Every structure is written in structure tokens, then in C-alpha cells.
């Protein structure tokens, strides 16, 4: 894998969500709280899984999560989702978060993880993923 600061490094998958890191999202050190970023990634992955499931999907696992760089107040956070695999009722998604820092033009890879979602019916029971 190319270094995240290399010009060749670029997001994998489709843009699922873009948001701005705000002061209310900081931890005790003034950096953006990792839990906030994980939540944004889960939202992005769920938007992606919804499209594949053609309906509701719920998070059942965060299979891995790696934080590479901090996120700061004022960073524009872009989250990309890429399909890993589709099971009978489950959808595995690789999710990457990239930021554009204030007064900079390049994207920095800040975190990534693998999320698993399960398609559910109106009774909150697993259902087959529609093909």
C-alpha cells in the first residue's frame, strides 16, 4: 500500500459521506474524538450497505479499525465505502476516512476499517440480500 501522504495514494470505493469536524466533536486533548470518527464511518458504511441490500441494514460488527493520523477541528472528512463481499444476509464493507486540512489541497488517509451489516426486514429479522 502506498504511503497515505504520497500523491499516488487515493481513496478506494465511492464517496458515501462528507462532513466537517467541529469543536463539539473533540476529546479532552482538543483532537477529534475517535468515537465520533468511527460513528461517521459507520453511517457511511450503512448508506453503502443500504444500496446493496435494497433496504434496511444494521451494523453487526466492526471487524477491524486502524487510526493512522489524527483529525483536527476544521478538517473536511470524506468517507469512502468499498464492497468486500455479499453473503446470504450480510454485507462486508471496507470503509476509509480521508481528510482535507485547512489551507491544504491534498487528501490524507486518516483511518480505515471493515464493517459488517445484515439486511433486515420490517420485523428486524435478517433477510436475504436482494440481488
Q: Using one digit for the tens of pLDDT, what is the confidence trace for 70-103? A: 999 999 999 999 999 999 999 999 999 999 999 8
Q: How many Cβ atoms are within 10 Å of 54's Cβ, its own excluded? A: 11
- Residue-level pLDDT at 31: 87
The C-alpha atoms of residue 124 and residue 96 are separated, in whole angstroms, by 28
Nearest to 26 by CA among 72, 78, 65: 72
Share above pLDDT 70 across residues of the chain, in percent, rounded to a whole number? 93
Which class does domain 14-119 fall in?
alpha beta
User: What are the structural domain ranges in the chain?
Assistant: 14-119
Q: Give per-residue pLDDT as tens, 8-33.
A: 489 999 999 999 999 999 988 888 99
**Around Cβ 38, how many Cβ atoms within 10 Å?**
18
Q: Is the pLDDT of residue 112 over 50?
A: yes
Amino acid at each position: 500500500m502506498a504511503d497515505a501522504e504520497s500523491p499516488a495514494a487515493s481513496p478506494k470505493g465511492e464517496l458515501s459521506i462528507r462532513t466537517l469536524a467541529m469543536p463539539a466533536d473533540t476529546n479532552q486533548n482538543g483532537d477529534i474524538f475517535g468515537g465520533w470518527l468511527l460513528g461517521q464511518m459507520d453511517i457511511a458504511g450503512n448508506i453503502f450497505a443500504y444500496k446493496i441490500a435494497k433496504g434496511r441494514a444494521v451494523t453487526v460488527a466492526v471487524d477491524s479499525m486502524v487510526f493512522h493520523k489524527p483529525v483536527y477541528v476544521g478538517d473536511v472528512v470524506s468517507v469512502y465505502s468499498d464492497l468486500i463481499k455479499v453473503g446470504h444476509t450480510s454485507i462486508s464493507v471496507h470503509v476509509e476516512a480521508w481528510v482535507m486540512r485547512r489551507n491544504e489541497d491534498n487528501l490524507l488517509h486518516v483511518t480505515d476499517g471493515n464493517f459488517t451489516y445484515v439486511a433486515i426486514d420490517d420485523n428486524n429479522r435478517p433477510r436475504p440480500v436482494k440481488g
